[in-house]
Amino acid sequence: MASMISGNREDYLINMLRITEGERPAKTTELASYMGVSPASVTEMLKALAADGYVDYERYRGATFTEKGLHHARKIRKKHHIMEMFLMDILDVDSKTAHEEACKLEHALSEESMMRLCQMVGTPVDEDCDGCACPCKAASTGKADMRSLSQMDAGESGVISHLKSDDSEKVRNLIAMGFVPGRRISVESRVSDKGPRIVSVGECIIALDAKSASVIKVDVEA
């Protein structure tokens, strides 16, 4: 079983990544200055991280990521970005508060919850994706037939994969209406490509215009 890493140690890893992007050693003094802690504390933590295989530490040179450490740091930073975007775009939290809350929650967020939140803020997640930007670089869930709701015909159904729009208010409104990733959705009827369609999601029957329907991405059942 893989050993657990504390939130405090993850803070050091993510701040090392912010300083160096994994491209050079992080010096003890610059990490201490960046985090507002003493150099002695940094040295002690880097030695502990080295003992666990997350960094290679050399006195006077600083610490460089191991492959294991870089992967973990990127994963934590991704969780931070996803949580921060969710708080701002879906819950309408201000950026300063969102950053502070994301710093606390990034350590507790599970892989499954991370993927669900990433779907909700705009794109599906690739479990093997190492990218740090959010939305995640993954472009699909790998399902054979993913379409926007606007492309589905009457009688077709599936499961909502994610919502994708540059308009965060539209995403919030659609989620409030019940269009949540993971929910089953069916097209009851549609007038034309550009006309409204009647859809069922959960226990509700909703009339949706074509533009809004294009935001909702669905894993369509065969």
What's domain 70-121's architecture?
Orthogonal Bundle (1.10)
In this predicted structure, the answer to whether residue 140 has a pLDDT above a threshold of 50 is no
pLDDT in tens, 186-219: 999 987 778 889 999 988 899 999 999 998 989 8
130 vs 79 pLDDT, higher one: 79
What does CATH list as the number for 146-220? 2.30.30.90
The conformation of residue 23, written as its DSSP 8-state character, comes to S
**pLDDT of 4 strictly over 70:** no
pLDDT-based confidence at 51, cuts 50/70/90?
very high
Q: What is the CATH number of domain 7-65?
A: 1.10.10.10
- Report pLDDT digits (tens) over 84-135: 878 887 777 888 888 888 888 877 777 777 777 776 766 544 444 444 344 3
Q: What percent of the chain has pLDDT over 70?
A: 86
**For the chain, counts of helices (H) and of strands (E):** 8, 8
Global confidence as pTM: 0.58
Domain residue ranges of the chain, discontinuous segments joined by +:
7-65, 70-121, 146-220
Residue 170 pLDDT level (bands cut at 50, 70, 90): confident
Q: What gap in Å lies between CA 158 and CA 141, rounded to an integer?
A: 14
Contact 172, 196 (CB under 8 A): no
C-alpha dist (Å) from residue 38 to 5, 20, 35, 60: 21, 19, 9, 15
